[in-house]
């Protein structure tokens, strides 16, 4: 239910999604796009008939009848939802954040057909019909005479309904941004994905007023870069947190009725039987927060150690391509160098740093102090050593650390037990290191379908609930969690 149309799209994106720095797809040529065409029927089949119906009903939300009048339009982010239906002509990126092979842009409203047709020339002159695919060129809002001079994008257009179109384009930000900008030029307002009137719940036009927790989760979902982080957000979109809060509101309301019946002072009855369970659940959610509050930003993993221990070689081995310069000369890396990747479904930003040692040279000293700063604010440090070179001393940093013995091919004798042995130049031990990184970072991932907080507001509400014992105060705090 709920965002099932989006959910239908998501596995498709994740299947082709390549949010990996090394795998950026080059431009989408007509030839490559033709290569995607055979996949499209499979994609369409994945979206069940019910979901298509929801798409069509979604289209009805953006017809003038169900639109708010212009005078009711808000302009702030809080009012984006209202803004989405201001003049009834809106567009947004329907697929999630991050790079993927293909992105889908939704264009809705009474002017959507004219706008799409102004910017798009189909390869076939046949008239566009519902749910038919048209391949062609997106040239933007330029006069026909100048179209040849402007580079066009090869895209696919699908008309879901006379007021609802999908533009399927290359998944890189350049193509997406261009199409959204062109649409804006022809009178279609680009809106935040959270403001797109998703069919939630689908039954009535005022269904666009989705519960706050669902809206917040939808917002997070659209910014998740990996399937694993998106799964947590998707659970909340499906109502895990909302349903949990509503369930407990019911429990405490029933308690109030029981207190009333027993002639106890209102909302001051003994609720110890429920409180232990309730507070246990609140605590679990707060335990997940360190991960679930970070679904949209990568975890920061820093490689640190003395010069020449193989930090740059290791980052290259983890990434699978030569991001960093690695040479036998100690002091090769001078500044902090970042690269994004995905490890076991977790978005990770790796940082290579300068070798840490006593140095008199000012540039090197600056590099070393940057390395120390980077390590002190990381989510995880990989402390690299070799058989000949000890690790740097951890000091009083609270940052968790994994000890790595690189150049283990040079080891004579045995290494300490809890050290991961690697040979960066051949890849030995890299899989063990990746598993250790994922395990250390994802300790507190919530189990499937568990309620979990996604932003600071939710965490603040949970913290209040953790220290509250009276039914009235509990109901107020739960009400705030649900309604803001
Ligand atoms: N035998 C062996 N050599 C390695 C290994 N890993 C890296 N090296 C070599 O060690 C040298 C230093 O590697 P780098 O990756 O540049 O080391 P670094 O820690 O980044 O060095 P700085 O940037 O100077 O701090 C290079 O010649 C690498 O080829 C390994 O596992 N075994
Ligand atoms: Mg280096």
Cα(69) to centroid(ligand 1), Å: 65
pLDDT of residue 279: 95
Residue 147: pLDDT band (50, 70, 90) is low
CA dist 418 and 404 (Å) reads: 9
Of ligand 1's atoms, which has the minimum distance to the CA of residue 316? 15
Residue 171: pLDDT band (50, 70, 90) is confident
Residue pair 159/147 in contact (Cβ under 8 Å)? The answer is: no
Position with higher pLDDT, 156 vs 458: 458
Residue 37: pLDDT band (50, 70, 90) is low
**In testing the pocket of ligand 1, which one of 302, 308, 315 has its CB within 8 Å of the most ligand atoms?**
308
Residue located nearest, by CA, to atom 2 of ligand 1: 407
CA dist 357 and 40 (Å) reads: 55
pTM of the model: 0.60
| Pocket lining: 313 vs ligand 1, CB cutoff 6 Å | yes
* pLDDT tens per residue, range 263-318: 665 545 456 668 889 999 999 999 999 889 888 889 999 999 999 999 999 999 99
Residue pair 83/182 in contact (Cβ under 8 Å)? The answer is: no
**In testing the pocket of ligand 1, which one of 322, 326, 328, 421 has its CB within 8 Å of the most ligand atoms?**
326
Cα(308) to centroid(ligand 1), Å: 5
Would you call 151 helix, strand, or coil by DSSP?
coil
Residue located nearest, by CA, to atom 8 of ligand 1: 310
| Helix locations, 62-103, DSSP H | 80-84
Contacts of residue 333, defined as CB under 8 A and 6 or more positions apart, other chains included, come to 311, 312, 324, 325, 352, 353, 354, 355, 367
Q: What is the mean pLDDT of residues 30-54?
A: 49
Cα(441) to centroid(ligand 1), Å: 26
Residue located nearest, by CA, to atom 13 of ligand 1: 310
Of ligand 1's atoms, which has the minimum distance to the CA of residue 308? 21
Identify which ligand lies nearest to the alpha carbon of 311: 1
| Pocket lining: 311 vs ligand 1, CB cutoff 6 Å | yes
Residue pair 110/64 in contact (Cβ under 8 Å)? The answer is: yes
Would you call 122 helix, strand, or coil by DSSP?
strand
Of ligand 1's atoms, which has the minimum distance to the CA of residue 328? 27
| Pocket lining: 308 vs ligand 1, CB cutoff 6 Å | yes
* pLDDT tens per residue, range 226-258: 888 888 998 998 899 999 999 999 988 887 777
pLDDT of residue 7: 32
pLDDT of residue 25: 34
- DSSP one-letter string for 249-309: HHHHHHHHHHHHHTTPPTT-S--HHHHHHHHHHHHHHHHHHHHHTTTTS-EEEEEEESTTS
pLDDT of residue 198: 54
- Burial (CB count <10 Å: 0-12, 13-18, 19+), residue 142: middle
Residue 124: pLDDT band (50, 70, 90) is confident
What's the mean per-residue pLDDT of the chain? 78
| Pocket lining: 327 vs ligand 1, CB cutoff 6 Å | yes
Cα(312) to centroid(ligand 1), Å: 7
| Pocket lining: 389 vs ligand 1, CB cutoff 6 Å | no
pLDDT of residue 336: 95
| Pocket lining: 332 vs ligand 1, CB cutoff 6 Å | yes
pLDDT of residue 93: 87
| Pocket lining: 307 vs ligand 1, CB cutoff 6 Å | yes
| Pocket lining: 334 vs ligand 1, CB cutoff 6 Å | no
């Amino acid at each position: 239910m709920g965002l099932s149309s989006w959910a239908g799209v998501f596995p498709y994106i994740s299947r082709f999604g390549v949010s990996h720095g090394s795998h950026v797809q080059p431009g989408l040529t007509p030839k490559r796009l033709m290569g995607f065409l055979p996949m499209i029927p499979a994609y369409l089949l994945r979206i069940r008939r019910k979901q298509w119906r929801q798409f069509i009903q979604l289209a009805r939300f953006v017809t003038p009848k169900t639109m708010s009048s212009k005078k009711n339009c808000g302009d702030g982010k809080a009012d984006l939802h209202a803004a989405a239906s201001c003049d009834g002509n809106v567009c947004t990126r329907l697929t999630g954040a991050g790079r993927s092979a293909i992105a889908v842009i939704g264009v809705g409203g009474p002017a959507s057909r004219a706008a799409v047709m102004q910017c798009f020339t189909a390869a076939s002159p046949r008239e566009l019909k519902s749910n038919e695919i048209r391949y062609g060129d997106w040239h933007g809002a330029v006069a026909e005479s100048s179209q040849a001079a402007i580079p066009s994008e090869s895209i696919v257009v699908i008309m879901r309904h006379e007021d609802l179109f999908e533009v399927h384009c290359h998944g890189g930000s350049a193509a997406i941004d261009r199409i959204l900008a062109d649409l804006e030029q022809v009178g279609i307002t680009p809106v935040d994905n959270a403001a797109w009137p998703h069919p939630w719940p689908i039954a009535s036009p005022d269904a666009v007023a989705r519960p706050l927790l669902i809206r917040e989760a939808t917002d997070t979902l659209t910014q998740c870069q990996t399937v694993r982080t998106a799964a947590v957000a998707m659970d909340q979109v499906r109502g895990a947190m909302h349903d949990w809060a509503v369930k407990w509101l019911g429990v405490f309301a029933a308690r109030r009725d029981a207190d009333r019946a027993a002639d106890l002072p209102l909302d001051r009855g003994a609720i110890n039987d429920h409180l232990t369970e309730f507070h246990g659940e609140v605590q679990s959610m707060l335990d997940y927060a360190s991960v679930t509050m970070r679904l949209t930003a990568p975890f920061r993993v820093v490689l640190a150690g003395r010069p020449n221990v193989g930090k740059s070689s290791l980052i290259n081995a983890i990434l699978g391509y030569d991001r960093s310069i690695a040479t036998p000369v100690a002091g090769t890396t001078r500044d902090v160098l970042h690269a994004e990747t995905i490890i076991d479904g977790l978005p990770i930003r790796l940082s290579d740093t300068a070798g840490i040692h006593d140095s008199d040279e000012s540039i090197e000293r600056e590099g070393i102090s940057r390395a120390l700063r980077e390590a002190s604010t990381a989510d995880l440090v990989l402390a690299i050593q070799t058989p000949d070179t000890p690790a740097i001393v951890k000091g009083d940093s609270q940052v968790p650390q994994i000890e790595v013995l690189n150049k283990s091919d040079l080891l004579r004798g045995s290494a300490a037990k809890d050290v991961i042995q690697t040979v960066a130049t051949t890849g030995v031990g890299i899989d063990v290191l990746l598993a250790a990184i994922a395990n250390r970072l994802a300790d507190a991932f919530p189990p499937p379908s568990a309620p979990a907080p996604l932003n600071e507001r939710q965490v603040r509400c949970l913290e209040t609930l953790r220290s509250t014992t009276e039914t009235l105060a509990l109901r107020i705090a739960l009400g705030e969690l649900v309604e803001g």
